[in-house]
Amino acid sequence: MRCVRSWNECLPQSWTGDEDRCREAGIGGEVTFATKPQLAKAMLARALAGKVPARWVTADEVYGSDRRLRMWLEAEGIGHVMAVKSNESLIGATTGHIFTAVRARTLADEVADEGWQTLSAGDGEKGPRLYQWARVSIRPLREKGAGHWLLIRRSLTDSSTRAFYVCYGPAETTLTELVRIAGSRWSIEECFQTAKGEVGLDHYQVRRYDAWYRHITLSMLAHAYLTVTRATQHTAHSEKVPLCPSSSR
């Protein structure tokens, strides 16, 4: 979800409203101000149009709190696990034909002790990232075959430390799968750190848009090359090593 930052993300409205300043920096008139969720939607739409395979989208609160982005993903049939704030208003239980808006933290408070499971959100530097997880069904009126949930994560040592995610996907999606998707965001953050450290993604001092664009493009190309090379070498090495050495006798 969090791909290379667009110039628009670094471009405040004070710039887009100043044509002379933009012209001096080489920024074309077609570049307008856009929020981070709007930029994310544009990048995702371009990826989908390019037939980039993707079953899930995950993102932090900046993007997850944008209801329009979540609804757009749902309309496109893309499953998502999006972080939201504790006060996010969700459609929970119903009384008769009346739908009730409930805060995410309130739904979490109502989860029984047996509703929590200890699961790993992926391996970190110190081993598995273990937390307690639970999910609550939301959006009672949903399309057939689809599921809507609030996913809740809480610390093993401090149950008051919690994180919340609004999820959409196939009805048969398991809690373990949602946890895996939520945890995959850490790998994206690590990817950015690697790009910054290895290929200088954030090592630039520029005054013009074209110079910035060239630097970012070359850094991302170098990062992609190194990633593919490493994956290829790893695959080639794995093919030379028997899965079970004893069976090669």
pLDDT by position in tens, the chain (length 249): 333 344 445 677 787 778 888 888 888 877 778 889 999 999 999 999 999 888 999 999 999 999 999 999 999 999 999 999 999 999 875 555 567 888 999 999 999 999 999 999 988 778 889 999 999 999 877 788 999 999 999 999 999 999 999 999 999 999 999 999 999 988 888 888 888 989 999 888 888 888 988 999 999 999 999 989 988 886 666 555 444 333 333
Q: What is the pLDDT of residue 20?
A: 85
CA neighbor of 47 nearest in space, from 73, 82, 8:
73
Q: In DSSP terms, which residues pair with 84 in a beta bridge?
A: 164
CA 146 to each of CA 80, 139, 149: distance values in angstroms, whole numbers, following the listed order:
12, 10, 10
Residue 247: Cβ within 10 Å count: 7
Q: What is the pLDDT of residue 221?
A: 94
Q: Which residues contact residue 114 at a Cβ distance below 8 angstroms, ignoring those fewer than 6 apart?
A: none
How buried is 62 (Cβ within 10 angstroms: 0-12 exposed, 13-18 middle, 19+ buried)? middle
CA neighbor of 210 nearest in space, from 3, 18, 13, 22:
22
* Coil, helix or strand at residue 97: coil
Q: What is the pLDDT of residue 193?
A: 87
Q: What is the pLDDT of residue 1?
A: 32
| Residue 122 to residue 211: CA distance in whole angstroms | 38
pLDDT tens, 221-240?
999 999 899 888 866 665 55
Q: What is the pLDDT of residue 70?
A: 96
Helices (H), the chain: 13-16, 19-24, 36-49, 61-64, 67-75, 104-109, 175-183, 185-199, 209-240
- Beta strands 117-124; 56-59: pairing state: unpaired
